[in-house]
A and B are shown apart, each in its own frame.
Chain A
């Protein structure tokens, strides 16, 4: 299957600082990427949909000014957590499809980023 690479795998940052997480589709182009968040012992929840060349679409309750998403190319989307607080500590996972939703394409997931804010 297609490969989605996420970096870094884990990061520890101080409260009030910003952290950038990268998501790359290595062997396919992804016009749309998704960012999910997973708190301990919970399921994955969609945070936002990242669209190449346009603004991201955020889910209800997700602050767009806090979670900045940039999808500058067909293979790279970044999520920047600004002014991080301990409650932002979570597992962030990106996903990309190897084509439009119709037509037999599949969603692929990155390795995830464990963010700990101290």
Chain B
């Protein structure tokens, strides 16, 4: 079964700095997802990465996928306080159902 490991689990950073969250997965996954979750809220879809070498950017966030290394990254550029949230990566479980397997999440805190 697919396993998804995310690190770091906690990230405290200053505004204006850059950082990367890493997501390793154990077996083939057709897609890799990145979500944002604010306290008490559900998941907000950030990126869906479909193929090797895929790179997507939205604002200060950029996600990439390396299927050969089974690694996805979420890069934060010039962080701002509004980015403070918990970020999850998720891969698709094998088989015909298509449920997602989530990493443990990275709690990001951006301080002034």
A interface, CB within 8 angstroms of B: 1, 6, 32, 34, 42-46, 49, 57, 93, 95, 97, 100-102, 104-112, 114
Contacts and interface: CB of A to CB of B under 8 A. Distances in A.
Contacts of A32: 97-98
Q: Which of B31, B48, B95, B98 has the most CB of A within 10 A?
A: B98
Contacts of A43: 88, 102-105
B97 A101 contact: yes
Interface residues of B, number: 25
Contact of A46 (B30, B40, B99, B103): B99
Contacts, number: 60
Interface string B75-105: 0000000000000101010011111111111
Given A93-B42, A101-B92, A112-B41, 7 more contacts: A6-B42, A43-B102, A49-B99, A95-B99, A101-B30, A105-B98, A107-B99
B50 interface: yes
B96 A100 contact: yes
A11 to B, nearest CB: 14
Interface string B31-52: 1010100001111010010100
A106 B43 CA distance: 14
Contacts of A44: 43, 88, 90, 100, 102
A95 to B, nearest CB: 7
Interface of B: 30-31, 33, 35, 40-43, 45, 48, 50, 88, 90, 92, 95-105
B42 A101 contact: no
B105 A97 contact: no
B42 A112 contact: yes
Contacts of A107: 33, 92, 98-100
B39 to A, nearest CB: 10
B30 A102 contact: yes
Nearest to B98: A101
